[in-house]
Structure 1
Amino acid sequence: MKYRLITFFCSYLSRRWSSGIARYQQKIMRTRHIHPVLHLLRWPFILAQGGIVGLSAACLVGAFRWGLDAVPRHVWPAARELPARYGLFGILLWGAVLVALAYGAGRMVRAVPLISGGGIPQVELECQGRLHVPLNIWLRVIAAKFLACLMDTAGGLSQGREGPSVQLGAGIGAIVDALCGHTESGRRNLLAAGGAAGMAAAFSAPWAGFIFAFEELKRPVSRTSCLLTLSAAFAAWWGVGAIFGFGQLFPFDDISAPEPAAWWKLLLVGLALGLGGSLYNRALIRLKTAESRLPIPRQWRILPSMLLAGVFLFTLPEILGGGGTLIVQTGGGGTTFAMLLLFLAGKVFFSLLSFTGDAPGGILMPILCVGALLGLAAGCALDGVSPSPENACWLICGMAGFFAAVLGTPLLGLVLVMEISGAASCLPAVALVILTADLTASRLHITPIYAALRSSIVVNAIPGGKRRVALSPRMLQTRSTRPDTRRTARQSARP
């Protein structure tokens, strides 16, 4: 009933506002040949819409970040004290809590399949016109994604907040589109602007959010899309800083870059990151394929990784969560090389397992963490030294190179890592590592991770073949790209 009231209210405002806005825009378009100034009046409306999307996304994503940051500070320490206070009963009590969290998140995924995973592939499909999500479904996605990600983080899964933040921001763009009333192209621009605002708010990186809309979401570059996305990204960045006090993600401003004589080491590190990213992609896709064949109810598929998180909470708590704290810890020194390798192996294994079961949560921060650990380990092995603040540039190069190899977005990786680290002195070294890693991954013919994950979301209706539905038909509407769009699902599934 609550969702129906919200949907009715948004539809009512859309009918009242969109008609007036549409008539005013048509009047401007008719009179632009008479007076060019009137034609320019649409640009303030575009900037205002981007600002509204950005500020709204900042409020939603900022509250989301605040909740995810509060969980490790309060829930995990309290859980670690249970065995000392209650003994075996305390361990069983935390196990029961993990079972309840896994079941709750699994039920949400079953009720709203669009919240599975990070959410970026779903946003990409809608921006490309291959997926259409009505407004009432977007409202359910926002609420379910928010709560399910909090449950997963409370359980300790190795997942990030950036993918969900992009989906939450795209949901804000869909709401603004419903209120203003746009064409299909305008709707896609608002969805991409909302996704960019979510990325900017999650990382406190506006330029990365702007580039994300065009390099990852594949939006056509035009004056309208650029102004809308840029205003949304910078409004979201300003909003999370002014309202919630979030600033630069990692304190690596004073890192010294390698000397030009040692740049041959950068090529080797980039090669290692490209190979590692390729193996990570293949392992993740094969694990997802194997997991989908298991005869386990969907609402219980998160339970194995959740119980394993409970084991790691008492044995290796550093690998829990997205990994931002682990990046700061290893970059600040005080970690031996053997411990660094243990963190790397544990983070890779647990991150891959945490993404199974359609668990709602992102993979961007775990990818950055794995890349940072791999880059630091490779650089320290080449230098023959232990991890320290003096060789933390390898950590920055590892984040950027592994990100580019896994996602296939070198420009986004460069800009993002520079913004979240502030290590401007390492820019030439990072660029060289990114080029090497991306070239290595492309030579190995590795499909970017989000392009591979999109194939499990699209409803394939191939004439003469089988119809594979990854999402519930009542939650998903698709548009066929084939000329014969009148074929029904039964005719498409007919052998």
Structure 2
Amino acid sequence: MVTELERKIKKENIKRLRKKRRREKASSAKKNLERKDTFKYVLLAEGLVVGVATGFLIAFFRMILDYGDKLRNNLIEFASQGLENVIIFFVILAALSLVVTYIVKKEPYCAGSGIPQVKGELKGQIETVWYKLIIAKFVGGVLAIGGGLALGREGPSIQLGAMVGKGFARTTGRLLTEERMLMSCGAGAGLAAAFGAPLAGVIFSLEELHKNFSTEVLLTTMAATVSADFVVRNILGLEPVFDFHITEYLPLANYWMVIVLGVVLGVFGVLYNNTINAMQNLLEKIPFKEGRVGIAFLCVGFLAFTYPIILGSGHELVGEVAMGEMAVITLLIILLSKFAFSTLSFSSGVPGGIFLPLLVLGALTGGTFGKIMSDLFGMNQSLIAAFVVLGMTGCFASIVRAPITGVILITEMTGDFRSLLAISIVSLVAYTVADMLGGVPVYEQLLNRMLKKEIGSNEENQVKRRKVIFEAEIYYGSYMDGEKVEKLNLPSGSLIVSVERDGKELIPYGQTVLYGGDKLSILCDNNDIIDAEEVIEDICKTIFREE
């Protein structure tokens, strides 16, 4: 029998234990809040480290690619001196083809630009080994781009930067949420280092990759992009990627031409993305990867002796087009040839991006349009440079569907803010037209294709289940503006851990009412993050709510 005294003692012990647990919880909560207060400064320092490391890596990458371009030109000159030299040249191309194919087979996620892979990993859809991918992407990218394929260095630079961020997180034992933030800032640093455009790197990371404009991500990415750009400029100098200047600006009375060009570029962007998809389908009918890559390098050999200006990324073409000295027929031939070779090169599945080639295609389209307008309306030839800039911006907006990144990128690269209104208009029109035509953003299209091919129905088993915290914002006028937390139908096992409102943190319950401007911190399984983001997009960010 339990005596009355024993019951009292047990009751007192339970009270003391509960008080102790409450003190422990309060202490733990205080520590978590203190960590949150210092977390953004820790991320800022980590962003600087990732940015510096990315800057050195991309600077070396660019140096090797520049050397590869010079070596390729010397080989073409060597091959033009006799039949034996031609045979040697094609043997070298065959060797490059086999080596690149071997690299892609050993590390499949190094294929293509790398941006879809980064997006997929940030969403928890794929998992990569960071150090293997850095080696494969670096070597494969140098061989493919240096070998003359119409590919760009920017996509690989973004993936390399993301892997630097992941490597730092893994070697220092960071949590998955922090790892993904560092991957985002590393990707932005890669773009900044490749283009010399730190602000564009920040916006690209926020708009295209992280899909979140939180203070932590913004500051971390800015620290990474600025430090990466500083390192690259100290190593490679201050020379811009596109070496031309706008000397005359389009009069406001002729801004109708900007709208027409935007429509043309919107259609062009959808056509380009569809052609990429069709070319990939066509080449996949070849049973061996060696055959697909071999066709691309065979075209390099053919173009080397017939039309060498088409080889490589083509960034030097932009300056030549901006001078306005090429005839319309010449511009059209170069545009069509570059379009065909660019889609073939990328669809072959070798490491290399379409970021810079699509800007070159935009410059050619804008230059051709400007030349036609100049001939029809008697405008000054110096205006063609302005149309080249408009073409690059609109093409980027229609193909990638990241209009803000495009505007900031081109503005930074040209250093000219007087064209900001015109490039904003062409970007908006091109984006809208491409969206109305039902085109899919190129990196979403490539990611979906990669997941269908590489992961398929085994997606759940491919990526180890880990918990991740991501942030979301309640938009004013959305369904959840004024609704209770319990109405937020997140995937099973997901939890809203905090709500930030007017700079203060709230601990939410089912009956907590959410309002526009609230920032949510959501804990979920990494395999559920796609479903969770779809819910957020539908009822937290869509401003047209049904009554």
TM, length-normalised to structure 2: 0.76
Code of the aligned partner of 2:463: Q
Deviation at 1:92, TM superposition (A): 1.0
Post-superposition offset of 1:255: 3.1
Moved more, 152-161 or 72-81: 72-81
CA distance in 1, matches of 2:347, 2:36: 51
Q: Indicate conservation of the 8 Å contact 2:250/2:383, yes or no.
A: no
Aligned to 2:532: none
8 Å Cα contact 1:337/1:387 also seen in 2: no
Distance 1:401 1:88 in 2: 44
| Equivalenced residues, count | 444
Is 2:44 the counterpart of 1:53?
Answer: no
Q: Does 1:445 align with 2:438?
A: yes
- Distance in 2 (alpha carbons) for counterparts of 1:125 and 1:479: 15
Matched, 1:79 2:71: no
Which amino acid letter does the alignment assign opposite residue 49 of structure 1? E
CA–CA separation in structure 2 for the residues paired with 1:109 and 1:386: 49
Q: 2:89 aligns with which of 65, 87, 94?
A: 94
Q: 1:149 aligns with which of 141, 146, 170?
A: 141
Cα 1:32–1:305, aligned 2, differ >3 Å: closer, same or farther?
closer
Quote the offset at 1:383 in angstroms: 2.4
SS at 1:163 equivalent? helix
Higher relative contact order (CA 8 A, sep 6+): 1
Which residues of 2 match residues 31-430 of structure 1 at below 5 A?
Answer: 31=31, 40-84=37-81, 87-133=82-128, 137-295=129-287, 297-384=288-375, 388-430=381-423
How much has 1:479 moved relative to structure 2? Answer: 5.7
Matched letter for residue 452 of structure 1: Q
1:483 Cα deviation (Å)?
Answer: 6.9
Contact in 1 for aligned 2:270/2:437 (Cα 8 Å) = yes
- Aligned letter for 1:458? L
Letter in 2 for 1:477: V
Q: Give the distance between the partners of 2:196 and 2:275, measured in 1 at CA.
A: 30
Tell me: CA distance 1:455–1:31, structure 2 relative to 1, closer, same or farther (3 Å): closer
Q: Against the structure 1 CA distance between its residues 92 and 199, is the aligned structure 2 distance closer, same or farther, given a 3 Å change threshold?
A: same
2:444 is aligned with 1:458: no
User: Partners of 1:307 and 1:286 in 2: how far apart?
Assistant: 20
Cα distance in 2 for partners of 1:328, 1:204 equals 17
Identity among equivalent positions (%) equals 31
Q: Deviations over 1:244-296 (max 9, x none)?
A: 3254222334432200110111111111111111111111111112222322x
Which structure 2 segments of 5+ residues have no match? 1-25, 467-489, 494-524, 526-547
Q: Does structure 2 conserve the Cα–Cα contact (< 8 Å) formed by 1:214 and 1:221?
A: yes
For 1:39 and 1:187, the matched residues in 2 are separated by 16
The one-character-per-residue Cα deviations of 1:23-66 (angstroms, maximum 9, x if unpaired) are xxx99974587xx7x86444432221000000000000110011
Return 5+ residue gaps in structure 1 as ranges.
Answer: 1-25, 486-495
In the other structure, the counterpart of 1:490 is none
Give the distance between the partners of 2:115 and 2:146, measured in 1 at CA. 22
Q: One-letter code of the match for 2:182?
A: L
Check conservation: 2:373, 2:379, Cα contact below 8 A. no
Give the partner amino acid of 2:281: T
Give the distance between the partners of 2:222 and 2:112, measured in 1 at CA.
27
Shift of 1:422: 1.9
1:460: Cα distance to partner? 7.7
Q: Do the aligned partners of residues 138 and 27 (structure 1) sit closer, same or farther apart at CA in structure 2, a change above 3 Å counting? A: farther
For 1:431, the aligned partner's letter is: S
- 1:129 aligns to what SS in structure 2? coil
Residue 23 (structure 2) aligns with: none
Deviation at 1:241, TM superposition (A): 0.5
- Of residues 153-162 and 106-115 in structure 1, the stretch that sits farther from structure 2 once superposed is 153-162
Q: CA RMSD in A?
A: 2.7
Amino acid at match of 1:152: A
Which string of whole-angstrom CA distances, capped at 9 and with x for unpartnered residues, describes residues 369-388 of structure 1?
A: 00110111112212216994
> Residues 140 and 460 from structure 1, CA distance in 2 versus in 1: closer, same or farther, beyond 3 angstroms?
closer
Q: Alpha carbons of 1:27 and 1:152: their partners in 2 closer, same or farther (altered >3 Å)?
A: farther
Q: Equivalent residue for 1:493?
A: none
Residue 461 of structure 1, CA deviation: 10
Greater displacement, 240-249 / 374-383:
240-249
**Letter of the structure 1 residue corresponding to residue 251 of structure 2:** E
Helix, strand or coil: the match of 1:217?
Answer: helix
**For the residues of structure 2 that align with 1:150 and 1:215, how far apart are their CA atoms?**
28
Q: Is the 8 A contact 1:209 1:233 kept in 2?
A: yes
> Helix, strand or coil: the match of 2:286?
coil
Bigger Rg, structure 1 or 2? 2
Q: Indicate if the aligned counterparts of 2:116 and 2:443 stay in contact, CA closer than 8 A.
A: yes
Query: Given the superposition, is the C-alpha separation of residues 127 and 189 from structure 1 closer, same or farther in structure 2, using an over 3 Å criterion?
Result: same
TM-score (norm 1): 0.84
The one-letter code sitting in structure 2 at the alignment partner of 1:171 is M
Could you tell me which amino acid in structure 2 is paired with residue 95 of structure 1? F
Contact 1:208 1:412 in 2 (8 A): yes
Amino acid corresponding to residue 61 of structure 2 in structure 1: F
